[in-house]
């Protein structure tokens, strides 16, 4: 019996994971990519932004140590851009080599479905047994910004600015907006961060958001919540934004980070019989679409816009095609923010437990009590654990704001996956002095 042919559309984290998983399971794999290998994450998202953010974080740490160190602190933007480009190129080349080693055929071009088992790629027909759509997403611009599309910045274009702007208005206080606001403020820009909801990071734990906002404002980064841009104009010296509050804000550059939209409309999915819903591709718990032979993973299905969520979905989808019944659980996906302090969480929102009638209790440990955090000059924030309010209660979720939160959160991600109780996690021996021993301290409260 011949190997099944799995077609993958898109080579971002979801497409990459799908191609690798299918190849490992013995499938013949064809991957179609219209742009650069690695998708948005590698070329215009996660990786380049973290290269820049790491430089900002190191600069912040060095400034924090200024009381007992000498030296001039500045960033060579052109050299940082070279470093970013070199890292991207190296990782992209590595991905290409790995796919070739696995026997994955890479086709450059746009895929468009003819039917449930055929796509066109550059005019040629490619038949498949199963397809995984991982086409990603694109930045979204609400009014009044579309008319200024060529002049304003989005999360793609901001990564390649020729120089650091003197002033920057960041529209959108979600993860991406917070990260870029934090970065450019540290690099010397005068930054205003605008969010239409009542606070930053809508949906995240309010105590964690409060710590982050206070840290921003303490450093001089202005946060304006509960407001939107009603009118925008451009002069030779920069932009003027009229807010819904009536205030006028001036900035050299405007960066809009208010979300992304699935890139599903030009794939011809309707010709394959796939149902679309408000631009996204609805899927079940196995990531299968309305058509048995077609799966959709990552941004295109609208469940989560996180790279690691896309990869997890892709593995679930491929495994399901090969007969496994393991489902995808979005509550196990860590959510990470690479500001300083960092913010990370895992598990369902607390409001979800209340809606389900689950009684909970929360326990906290503040990094001000951590010798390691004090030694590192990073004592802002806390570790918070949410558990069932009963003896031997299960761990339900966790939130961390503070140093290395994006690394520490994986202790809780592992514990949630293993359905550990609070007592079981507390019995783990944590080294001293470390940041992670704060987990045991929180569970001892």
Whether residue 86 sits in one domain with residue 36 = yes
Distance CA(60)–CA(56), nearest Å, equals 6
User: What's 377's domain CATH number?
Assistant: 3.30.390.30
Could you tell me if 125 and 11 lie in one domain?
yes
Q: Which of 330, 364, 384 is the last residue of a domain?
A: 330
Q: Which of the two residues, 349 and 346, has the higher pLDDT score?
A: 346
Give me the chain's average pLDDT, please: 96
pLDDT at 1 over 70: no
* Same-domain check for residues 11 and 129: yes
The verdict on residue 211 lying in a domain is yes
Alpha-carbon distance 309 to 287, whole Å? 12
Same domain, 278 and 130: yes
- The pLDDT value recorded for residue 66 is 73
Name the nearest CA neighbour of 322 among 113, 170, 130: 130
Our count of domains for the chain comes to: 3
Q: Does 79 fall in a domain?
A: yes
Q: Tell whether 358 and 239 lie within a shared domain.
A: no
Which of these three, 309, 330, 351, is where a domain ends?
330
In a domain, 74, yes or no: yes
Confidence check: pLDDT of 349 > 90: no
Report yes or no on whether pTM surpasses 0.85: yes
The residue-averaged pLDDT of 121-142 equals 96
Domain harbouring 92, CATH code: 3.50.50.60
Residue that terminates a domain, selected from 209, 239, 258: 258
The reply to whether 151 and 238 lie within a common domain is yes
Q: What is the pLDDT of residue 223?
A: 98
What angle (nearest 5°) sits at the alpha carbon of residue 132, between those of residues 126 and 136?
110
Q: Please indicate, yes or no, whether residues 235 and 267 belong to a single structural domain of this protein.
A: no
pLDDT in tens, 59-105: 999 988 877 766 667 889 999 999 999 999 999 999 999 999 999 99
Give pLDDT, residue 2.
Answer: 81
Is it the case that residue 146 has pLDDT exceeding 60? yes
Question: Is 5 known to be catalytic?
Answer: no
Residues 267 and 220 in one domain: no
Outline where 386-436 has alpha helix (H). 405-417, 422-426
326 and 378: one domain?
no
Q: Is 298 part of any domain?
A: yes
186 lies in the same domain as 78: no
Do 12 and 133 belong to one domain? yes
Over residues 33-44, the pLDDT tens digits come to 999 999 999 999
Cα-based distances in Å from 286 to 308, 367, 391: 16, 40, 34
Note the pLDDT tens digit of each residue in 293-343: 999 999 999 999 999 999 999 999 999 999 999 999 999 999 999 999 999
Residue 358's pLDDT band, with cuts at 50, 70 and 90, is very high
Q: Are residues 14 and 121 in the same domain?
A: yes
CA distance 10 to 32: 6
Contacts of 192 (CB under 8 A, 6+ apart): 168, 169, 170, 222, 223, 224, 249, 251
Handedness of CA 214, 407, 135, 154 (dihedral sign): positive
228-285: per-residue pLDDT in tens? 999 999 988 899 999 999 999 999 999 999 999 999 999 999 999 999 999 999 999 9
Q: How much is the pLDDT for 69?
A: 64
User: For residue 289, is it within any domain?
Assistant: yes
CA-CA distance, 403 to 64, in Å (whole number)? 14
pLDDT at 70: 63
Of the candidates 430, 429, 437, 428, the residue with the CA atom closest to the CA atom of residue 403: 437
Q: Which domain holds residue 407?
A: 341-443
Tell whether the model's pLDDT for residue 215 goes beyond 80: yes
Q: Assess if residue 313 is contained within a domain.
A: yes
Q: Is residue 30 part of a domain?
A: yes
Specify if 335 maps to a domain: no
């Amino acid at each position: 019996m011949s190997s099944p042919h799995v077609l993958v559309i898109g080579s971002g984290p979801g497409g990459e994971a799908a191609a690798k998983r299918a190849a490992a399971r013995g499938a013949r794999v064809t991957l179609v990519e219209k742009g650069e290998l690695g998708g948005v994450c590698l070329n215009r998202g996660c990786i380049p932004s973290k290269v820049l953010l790491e430089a900002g974080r190191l600069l912040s740490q060095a400034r924090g140590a200024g009381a007992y160190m000498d030296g001039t602190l500045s960033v060579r933007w052109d050299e940082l851009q070279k470093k970013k480009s070199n890292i991207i190129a190296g990782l992209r080349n590595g991905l290409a080599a790995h796919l070739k080693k696995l026997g994955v055929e890479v086709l450059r071009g746009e895929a468009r479905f003819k039917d449930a088992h055929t796509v066109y790629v550059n005019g040629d027909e490619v038949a498949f047994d199963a397809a995984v759509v991982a086409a990603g997403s694109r930045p979204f611009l609400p009014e009044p910004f579309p008319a200024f599309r060529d002049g304003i910045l989005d999360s793609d274009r901001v990564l390649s600015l020729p120089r650091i702007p003197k002033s920057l208005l960041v529209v959108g206080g979600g993860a991406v907006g917070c990260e870029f606001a934090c970065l450019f403020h540290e690099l010397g820009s005068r930054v205003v961060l605008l969010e239409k909801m009542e606070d930053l990071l809508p949906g995240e734990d309010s105590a964690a958001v409060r710590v982050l906002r206070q840290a921003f404002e303490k450093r001089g980064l202005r946060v304006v919540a509960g407001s939107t841009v009603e009118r925008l104009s451009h002069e030779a010296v920069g932009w003027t934004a009229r807010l819904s509050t009536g205030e006028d804000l001036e900035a050299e550059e405007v960066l809009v980070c208010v979300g992304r939209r699935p890139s599903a409309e030009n794939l011809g999915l309707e010709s394959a019989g796939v149902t679309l819903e408000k631009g996204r591709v609805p899927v079940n718990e196995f990531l299968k679409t309305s058509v048995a032979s077609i799966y959709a993973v990552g941004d295109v299905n609208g469940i989560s816009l996180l790279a690691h969520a896309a990869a997890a979905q892709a593995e679930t989808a491929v495994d399901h095609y090969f007969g496994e019944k393991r489902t995808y659980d979005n509550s196990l996906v860590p959510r990470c923010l690479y500001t300083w302090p960092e913010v990370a969480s895992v598990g369902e929102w607390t409001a979800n437990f209340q809606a389900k009638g689950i009684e909970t209790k929360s326990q906290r440990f503040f990094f001000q009590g951590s010798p390691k955090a004090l030694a590192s000059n990073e004592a802002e924030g806390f570790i918070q654990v949410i558990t069932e309010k009963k003896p031997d209660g299960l761990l339900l979720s966790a939130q961390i704001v503070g140093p290395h939160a994006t690394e520490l959160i994986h202790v809780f991600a592992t514990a949630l996956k293993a359905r550990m109780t609070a007592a079981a996690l507390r019995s783990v021996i944590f080294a001293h002095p470390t940041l992670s021993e704060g987990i045991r301290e929180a569970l001892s409260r």
